[in-house]
Chain A
Amino acid sequence: MREMKVKEVKEAIAKLCMDACYYLPEGVLAKLKGAVDTEASPLGREILGTIIENAELAKKKGVALCQDTGLTVVYIDIGQEVHFTDGDLYEAINAGVAKGYTEGYLRKSSVDDPLFDRKNTGDNTPAIIHCNIVPGDKVHIIISPKGCGSENMGALRMLKPADGVEGIIKFVVETVRNAGPNPCPPITVGVGIGGNMEKAAELAKFSLSRNIGEHNDNPKYEQLEKKLLEEINKTGVGPSGLGGTTTALAVNIEYAPTHIGGLPCAVNLNCHAARRAEIVL
């Protein structure tokens, strides 16, 4: 049994919030730079150049890449040998988010309740927390701040088993086309296939926490990721939706077993600021 004070989690999360919002992952930056060489639209190439310049400026100044620093999505895998002490883990996670967003000059975008009062909670809490118990004595935390421009363009459809691969491709491409310029392309496309309604949505979001460029371990799904990326980049949406051949940088699929009668599919889009930061405690 390993004892860990919840304050350690709080401090780690505060720093991860700032790091994620200031520093675009190197892999994403490399993809953007690569796209400058392949993009067919001259305006698209200029926009990609501005996006790269923006990431470099934010890093240099230590400021938010994008003003929409999102709702804070926290993935925390807790080794079952870990025993948290000195407080409530969920409170500590939220205290870390509040600290990171306040001390890091990050925008507070959370309103409560969602329909009637919509009052800003003032510190970007509550975070959206996904907690898993795993073997071992480590704690693995991934922070993915997610803005609403892209979040609003996601979709979920309860496909039929007979819709098959073709149905998945049609639905994903249709979602990207309908989104057009709104999710700030070039996007990363998260696809969740299987499970049930809420599981598919969780898988789609979780797939976006992957390091860009990593594929699904299952070769059939890896092939589908590549096929989808190719199809999506034929839509013409392009950088900022102003036309071009770079609509998406990557497609990530996660899947889970499903019911004999179902083929749920969720699509969660991420903007070009595909932010993430992680730590193992």
Chain B
Amino acid sequence: MSNEGNIKYITTPLTEEAVKDLKAGDVVRISGYIYTARDAAHKRMYEALEKEQGVPFDLEDNIVYYVGPAPTKPGEVVGSAGPTTSGRMDKYTPALLAHGLRGMIGKGTRSQEVIDSCVKNKAVYFIAIGGAAAVIAQSIKGEEMIAYEELGPEAIRRYEVKDFPAIVGVDIEGNDVYKVEIPKYCKIK
């Protein structure tokens, strides 16, 4: 986003204090470490939490990125790595937020239950541009395998990111950017 003056720069770990001023629609750049997890990894973490077992990384004040990257080509840091549809993780999300997860990056709409859970736990949902996978990969500076390697693209990886581009989708007051922006351009009832 070229609107440089209005960009908010945030870093992980993402504290309650840091998300307080983020509003739905804000353009942000995220730096620090984020953890990848999508469908299968979420199912496993959810089941582990239900059994009161640990999950592969500390959720507290961390951000999960919903992504299953393409394999890394020689000479590249990571393969193409754009967001996947967040709604598929809705079933598992409130449990992760209740255990301290502060942020999620994905694309698409969230359930009311997830939005309510963001308010309750002071967590934020960030939107990355779906399909901008090669551009987004440029903001990923390092990669480390954390868990579930056998899941291939669905394994949990830790990414070191610098100025990862995103937009605040749901803020801690429960405002949802999609519900605000789409009606502005809608010309049918």
Which residues of A pack against B, CB within 8 Å?
40-41, 43, 46-47, 50-51, 53-54, 57-58, 61-69, 105-109, 118, 120, 122, 148-149, 152, 173, 180-182, 184, 231, 234-238, 240-245, 271-273
Contact = CB atoms under 8 A, between A and B. Distances in A.
Contact of B135 (A57, A108, A236): A57
B93 interface: no
A50 B84 contact: no
B38 to A, nearest CB: 10
B134 A54 contact: yes
Interface residues of B, number: 48
A180 to B, nearest CB: 6
B151 to A, nearest CB: 7
Nearest to B128: A240
B185 A58 contact: no
B41 to A, nearest CB: 12
B184 A69 contact: no
B67 A67 contact: yes
B185 A238 contact: yes
Contacts of B152: 108, 120, 122
22 contacts: A41-B185, A51-B131, A58-B134, A64-B70, A64-B134, A65-B131, A67-B68, A67-B81, A105-B70, A105-B73, A107-B70, A122-B152, A149-B107, A181-B127, A182-B87, A236-B185, A236-B186, A240-B127, A241-B108, A241-B109, A242-B178, A243-B181
A28 B134 CA distance: 17
Interface in B131-167: 131-135, 137-138, 151-154, 165, 167
Nearest to B67: A67
A269 to B, nearest CB: 12
A53 B186 CA distance: 27
| Central interface residue in A120, A180, A240, by most chain B CB within 10 Å | A240
B109 A180 contact: yes
Interface string B83-112: 011010000000000000000000111000
